[in-house]
């Protein structure tokens, strides 16, 4: 019996969130006397095996096919279903991402397996899995339970720490076959795939801009602050709407969930739908000219004032501090 972790690969490397989930699965497996296994699905899946071994997987399934160069739901569901049929795990854990959200429901239906989406913690029970998940725009936690085998669980980024525990893993390459005749969406193009910049959902530092950032000058200040810190850039829906920031940077209920060590919210009011994506950050800084803005309820440090006046000296001071 095993716990199987799906290892996501993004921009040529293993997602840290997947290693967080793998680390947690290793602990749960050890406590229950289960094996901890991982699955890599990528055109060059074997390139990533060493990294997965470092985090303690005892068995790694690989599925290699050029089709996995781009995210496409139909082949990914097919490959995951085939690996799960082969591995017969008690639980399948996946680090949540847009790619995972895209396939989880279909995979659950295909395997006739119960699914718990976007949990912030989970544990094994005799009959399945018990978990906690934020609900109602992350205002509350629901304690949920699933019974069956396997249970599919997707886990929010930052829920656990990634801890190395090297193991020698057995490797099993599984063939991939795909029913080309079955209707499926065809990919026409991928727009604005971000390359080298710090990935938002994995970043240690995030600088996020809201409607208070109203022009290119404000955007330049955000860029500079992010650069000094080595931070990823996040945003509220308001500035994505007006086209000042890309949709991939949106943090919140519709956007991404982040939990960096430091989140600096600049000119963001702190609507619950925004907070849903960032309230779990360790240190939160809010910069807002309205002392009553709800964002201050989340802030470790709140600065009341005009961002256009506060950011230049802040960038300066941080640059000095960094030496």
Ligand X SMILES: Cc1cc2nc3c(=O)[nH]c(=O)nc-3n(C[C@H](O)[C@H](O)[C@H](O)COP(=O)(O)OP(=O)(O)OC[C@H]3O[C@@H](n4cnc5c(N)ncnc54)[C@H](O)[C@@H]3O)c2cc1C
* Interface pick for other proteins out of 2, 253, 259, 269 (rule CB under 8 A): 253
Would you call 277 exposed, middle or buried from its count of C-beta atoms within 10 A (0-12, 13-18, 19+)? buried
CA angle 313, 317, 321 (to 5 degrees): 170
Q: Enumerate the β-bridge partners of residue 93.
A: 5, 153
Is 149 one of the binding residues for ligand X (CB under 6 A)?
no
Report in angstroms how near the CB of residue 166 gets to other proteins at its nearest. Answer: 28
Residue 171 interacts with, from ligand X, other proteins, none (CB under 5-8 Å by kind): none
Number of neighbours of residue 201 by Cβ within 10 angstroms: 26
Query: Looking only at residues 11 through 50 of this chain, which bind ligand X when binding is defined by CB under 6 A?
Result: none
Nearest residue to 98 via CA among 281, 256, 275, 249 = 256
Nearest residue to 172 via CA among 35, 29, 63 = 63
Q: Which stretch binds ligand X (CB under 6 A): 48-56, 74-82, 90-98, 209-217?
A: 209-217
Residue 109 interacts with, from ligand X, other proteins, none (CB under 5-8 Å by kind): other proteins
Report in angstroms how near the CB of residue 41 gets to ligand X at its nearest. Answer: 24
287-311: string of b/e by CB count within 10 Å (b at 16+)? bbeeeebbbbebbeebbeeebbebb
Is 220 one of the binding residues for other proteins (CB under 8 A)?
no
3-state DSSP assignment of residue 277: coil
Residue 62 or 279: the one with the smaller Cβ distance to other proteins is 279
Is 189 one of the binding residues for other proteins (CB under 8 A)?
yes
Give the phi and the psi of residue 249 in degrees, each rounded to 5.
Answer: -90, -5
* Interface pick for ligand X out of 50, 135, 197, 318 (rule CB under 6 A): 135
The two structure tokens encoding residue 21? 């989930």
Query: Looking only at residues 115 through 154 of this chain, which bind other proteins when binding is defined by CB under 8 A?
Result: 115-118, 128, 130, 132-148
Half-sphere exposure of 278 (CA within 13 A, CB side): 40
* Interface pick for other proteins out of 104, 203, 258, 268 (rule CB under 8 A): 104
* Interface pick for ligand X out of 9, 271, 285, 299 (rule CB under 6 A): 271
Binding mask 67-96 for ligand X (x = CB under 6 A): ------------------------------
**In Å, how far from its chain's centre is CA 163?**
17
* Interface pick for ligand X out of 44, 58, 149, 273 (rule CB under 6 A): 273
81-108: string of b/e by CB count within 10 Å (b at 16+)? bbbbeebebbbbbbbbbebbeebbebbb
Query: Looking only at residues 228 through 257 of this chain, which bind ligand X when binding is defined by CB under 6 A?
Result: 236-238, 250-255
Is 290 one of the binding residues for other proteins (CB under 8 A)?
no
* Interface pick for ligand X out of 289, 302, 315, 319 (rule CB under 6 A): 289
* Interface pick for other proteins out of 108, 206, 208, 266 (rule CB under 8 A): 108
Contact (CB, 8 A) for 62 and 49? yes
* Interface pick for ligand X out of 34, 260, 274, 279 (rule CB under 6 A): 274
Is 259 one of the binding residues for ligand X (CB under 6 A)?
no
Residues making contact with ligand X (CB under 6 A): 116-117, 133, 135, 142, 144, 210-212, 236-238, 250-255, 267-269, 271, 273-274, 277, 287-290, 293, 306-308
């Amino acid at each position: 019996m095993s716990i199987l972790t799906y290892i996501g690969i993004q921009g040529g490397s293993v997602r840290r969130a997947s290693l967080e989930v793998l680390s947690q699965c290793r602990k749960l497996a050890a406590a229950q006397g289960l094996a901890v296994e991982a699955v890599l699905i990528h055109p060059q899946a074997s390139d990533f095996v060493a990294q997965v071994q470092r985090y303690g997987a005892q068995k790694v399934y690989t599925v290699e096919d050029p089709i996995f160069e781009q995210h496409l739901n139909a082949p990914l569901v097919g490959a995951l279903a085939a690996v799960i049929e082969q591995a017969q795990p008690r639980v399948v854990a996946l680090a949540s991402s847009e790619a995972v959200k895209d396939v989880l429901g279909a995979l659950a239906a295909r395997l006739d397996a119960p699914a718990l989406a976007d949990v912030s913690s989970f544990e094994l029970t005799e009959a399945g899995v018990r978990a906690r998940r934020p609900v109602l725009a992350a205002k509350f936690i629901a304690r949920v339970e699933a019974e069956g085998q396997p249970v599919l669980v997707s886990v929010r980024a930052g829920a656990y720490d990634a801890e190395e525990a090297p193991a020698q893993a057995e490797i099993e390459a599984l063939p991939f076959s795909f029913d080309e005749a079955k209707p499926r969406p065809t990919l026409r193009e991928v727009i604005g795939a971000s390359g080298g910049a710090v990935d938002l959902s994995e970043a240690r530092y995030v600088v996020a801009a809201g409607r208070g950032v109203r022009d290119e000058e404000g955007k330049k200040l955000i860029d500079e602050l992010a650069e000094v810190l080595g931070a990823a850039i996040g945003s509220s829906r308001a500035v994505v709407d007006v086209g000042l920031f890309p949709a991939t940077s949106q943090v919140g209920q519709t956007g991404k969930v982040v939990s960096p060590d430091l989140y600096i919210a600049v000119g963001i009011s702190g609507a619950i739908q925004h907070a849903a994506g960032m309230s779990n950050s360790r240190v939160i800084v809010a910069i807002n000219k309205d002392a009553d803005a709800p964002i201050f309820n989340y802030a470790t440090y709140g600065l009341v004032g005009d961002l256009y006046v506060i950011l230049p000296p802040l960038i300066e001071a941080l640059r000095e501090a960094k030496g």
